[in-house]
Amino acid sequence: MDTNNPFLDSYKKKSDEYKPGTKEDVQAESGEQKSLTVEEKSGFKKPRAGGSEPPAPVSKKSRKVPAVIAGIVVLALIITGIILLLNRGLEMINLVDWTENDAQLWARNNGIILQVEQEYNDDHEAGRVISQSVPEGSRIKKGEFVKLKISLGHDLSVTLPIPDFMSMTKNEIDSWAAENFMTKVRITTEYSNTVETGKVIRFEINDDRVVNEVRRDSPIYIIISKGPEDTEAATVEVPNFKIMSIADGYAYAEENGLVLIVEEEYDDFVPQGTIISQSVKAEEKVPVGTEIALVVSKGKMITVPDFSKYSRELAGSVAGQLGIAVTMNERYSSRPAGEFISQSIKPDTVYESGQIVELYYSIDNKISLPSFVGQTRDAIESWAKNLNDNGASITIKTKSTSSNSPPGTILTQSKANTLIGISAAINITVSSGKIVYVPDFVAPAGSGYDKAITREKALAMCEALNIVPIFVEESKSGRLPGEIWYQSMGAGKEISEGTTITLKYVPANVQVTVPDLTGMTREEILAENYHKTFTITFVEGVEYKEGFEEKVYEQSLITGTKVASGSELTLTLGPKQIGMPEEPLPEE
């Protein structure tokens, strides 16, 4: 409890001044008590004559007053503290270097709205937070906005002067590339009799986008000297490659500086993949870098047979014996069901390992055609496409007519429930739907959202009429955000269901602050043109509220929040005061 409370100190001082002690104090106190006694009729009795009158006791009620007042003050302070604490909101944390996904998750969990801007930055990886508009430790309430700048990473279009590569070492080049975030610097080495080891022999910059400078993504190739080649140690003994596998031969050549040139040829006796010969004899010493040609066996030559000579069942067995991979396929054709049609690789062609020979057999030369009446046009066209993908040549000829059936519904079919040839033509009649009339999507210029047709309203109108809208976002002066201001067909025109119509609307990218409309009448709200900022719906409340007769006492959007222009705003008006019932007459 606060011991320096001025009110309590003053009260205590006055209380001490009236404490009984002297006879005058006692008499004053007694007189005051007597007055209270008469008023309260407490049964006070007059003291006996001749005796001295004792001091009147101090009332317990008087002693409790300071304690009660002190308790009320403390309680008020506690309640005030709680209210202030609840209104302080959330303590902002440091989001710098967080990923954007983690920051968005934190914001959603705490009711904070993030506004994200992106920019290039060399100090933060792409996708991480660079800075925030609200400092760490500040208090922020739910629903408030925090702006974050997110890194796009290094800007590779930044240009730099070309350094003097010819005077730099490899370590210096690596450091320069790292410090300047260069992404395509490639360093290789080669022998040189004129440039000392570690020095640059030459460099190439292949980038037509810059002159006398380089970009961070410019391809730069730098060749550094390995010094003169040691001719005494530059010979290698050729091994017997014929006892090696191809993989082992390549590994040996790589380790010892030899270059292999591999050729393949068929051989009826040497297994596939085995080395038949080598151009340099084994144990011969040759300079490093010497090319050695190896001839590798492709195994026994296999020719593709004429599979038309075999039945479908026997064809698979023949292919397996020869080591030929085959697949069996079926297609519609002019041949009877099951007959051979063709093969993908001609007979007597040399078969290469890994090839697949596709064999085709006839499904049939007749097709069963069902009835598609009552189904959609897509159904019969999908059916025909599946058949045509398998060799048929079915043609669907379509004409349209208005009807009460949904658009695209097949009304008649020239052939149905019968066998047809694989190249038959089928005539169908398709419903174009009911005739509907184009509504008027464009309100008079200067209208508010109570009359303007927004993109959302237009979409609902089109769905109700079963017409297809094509929305085009385009600005137009004098029109509200989101309002339709152009339609490609005039209002009242007759069209069929499913017809497309182009509607142009103003971009709905404007945010407005929700005002406090409580206490205002419908006429006042319309006079202030709030209906040109919000889509307002007035509803009459069911509960009477004094002072709010025909005035707004509740609104659906919270005052002070930011919402898109044209947002739905429901305003509840207080009903008129109902006459008070008459009091019943007194009974006689």
Distance separating alpha carbons of residues 95 and 207, to the nearest angstrom: 39
Q: Which two tokens stand for residue 157?
A: 């279009």
Question: Are residues 371 and 415 located together in one domain of the fold?
Answer: yes
**pLDDT value of position 66:** 66
124 in a domain, yes or no? yes
> pLDDT at position 464, please?
92
CA dist 333 and 335 (Å) reads: 5
* Residue 40 included in any domain: yes
Residue 149 pairs with which residues in a beta bridge?
117, 131
Q: Judge contact between 26 and 19, C-beta under 8 A.
A: no
Predicted pLDDT of residue 407: 86
Among candidates 6, 5, 11, 10, which has minimal Cα distance to 74? Answer: 5
**What is the reported pLDDT for 36?**
35
37 contacts: CB under 8 Å, gap ≥ 6? 44
Strands 129-132 vs 145-151: parallel, antiparallel or unpaired: antiparallel
The residue length of the chain stands at: 588
Same domain, 262 and 199: no
Q: Name the domain boundary from 410, 431, 452.
A: 431
- Output DSSP code: residue 100: H
Domain stop point among 69, 86, 103: 86
Nearest residue to 534 (alpha-carbon basis) of 443, 450, 445: 450
Question: Residue with structure tokens 């792409």?
Answer: 126
- Number of structural domains found in the chain: 8
Instruction: Give the C-alpha separation, 150 to 557, whole Å.
Output: 31
Tell whether the torsion through CA atoms of 402, 403, 408 and 412 is positive or negative.
negative
- Judged by DSSP in three states, 295 sits in strand
Q: Is residue 405 included in any domain, yes or no?
A: yes
Map tokens 């993030």 to a residue: 114
DSSP result, 321-381: HHT-EEEEEEE--SSPTT-EEEESS-TTPBPPTT-EEEEEEE--SEEEE---TTSBHHHHH
- Residue 97: strand, helix, or coil: coil
Q: Are residues 121 and 181 located together in one domain of the fold?
A: no
Q: Is 385 helix (H, G, I), strand (E, B) or coil?
A: helix
Residue 421 lies in a domain: yes
Residues 177 and 212 in one domain: yes
**20 phi and psi angles, rounded to 5 deg:** -65, 145
pLDDT at 37: 36
- Are residues 78 and 12 part of one domain? yes
* Residue among 558, 551, 437, 421 at smallest CA distance from 489: 437
Q: How far apart are CA 188 and CA 551, in angstroms?
A: 83
pLDDT in tens, the chain (588 residues): 444 544 445 544 544 544 444 444 434 444 444 333 334 444 444 444 444 445 555 555 555 566 667 777 667 677 665 555 545 678 999 999 999 888 988 887 888 999 999 999 999 999 999 999 999 999 998 889 999 999 999 999 999 999 999 999 989 999 999 999 998 898 877 778 889 888 999 998 988 888 889 999 998 989 898 888 766 657 889 999 999 999 999 999 999 989 999 998 888 888 989 999 998 999 998 888 888 989 999 888 999 999 999 999 999 999 999 999 999 999 999 999 999 999 999 999 999 888 999 999 999 999 999 999 999 999 999 999 999 999 999 999 999 998 888 889 999 999 999 999 999 999 999 998 889 999 999 999 999 999 999 999 999 999 999 899 999 999 999 999 999 999 999 999 999 888 999 999 999 889 999 999 999 999 999 999 999 999 999 999 988 888 899 999 999 999 999 999 999 999 999 998 765 454 555 554
Instruction: State the pLDDT at residue 62.
Output: 52
Whole-Å CA distances, 195 to 190, 192, 331: 10, 6, 70
With H, G, I as helix, E, B as strand and everything else as coil, classify residue 96. Answer: coil
Q: Give residue 323's domain range.
A: 307-362
CA atoms in the 13 A half-sphere facing the CB of 119 = 7
Flag whether 215 is in a domain.
Answer: yes
SS3 75: helix
496 inside domain: yes
The rounded radius of gyration (Å) of the Cα atoms in the chain is: 49
Residues 207 and 260 in one domain: no
Beta carbons within 10 angstroms of residue 435's beta carbon? 10
Alpha-helical (H) ranges within 113-158 are none
250 and 319 both lie in a single domain: no
> Would you say residue 584 lies in a domain?
no
Q: Position of tokens 């007042």?
A: 69
Two structure tokens written together for 431: 């419903």
Q: 424, 453 in Cβ contact below 8 A?
A: no
User: 517 with 537, same domain?
Assistant: yes
On whether the CB atoms of residues 400 and 430 are closer than 8 A, the answer is yes
| Per-residue pLDDT at 286 | 87
Tell whether pTM > 0.75: no
The closest of 126, 94, 100, 97 to 115, measured between CA atoms, is 100
Q: What is the CATH number of the domain that holds 556?
A: 3.30.10.20
Q: Are residues 79 and 12 in the same domain?
A: yes
| Residue (of 452, 489, 493) closest to 470 by Cα position | 489
Residue ending a domain, among 416, 431, 446, is 431
Per-residue three-class SS string for 311-322:
CHHHHHHHHHHH
Q: Does residue 475 belong to any structural domain of this protein? A: yes
3-state secondary structure 264-286: EECCCCCCCCCEEEECCCCCCEE
| Closest listed residue to residue 418, CA positions, set 370, 381, 385 | 370
Same domain, 424 and 493: no
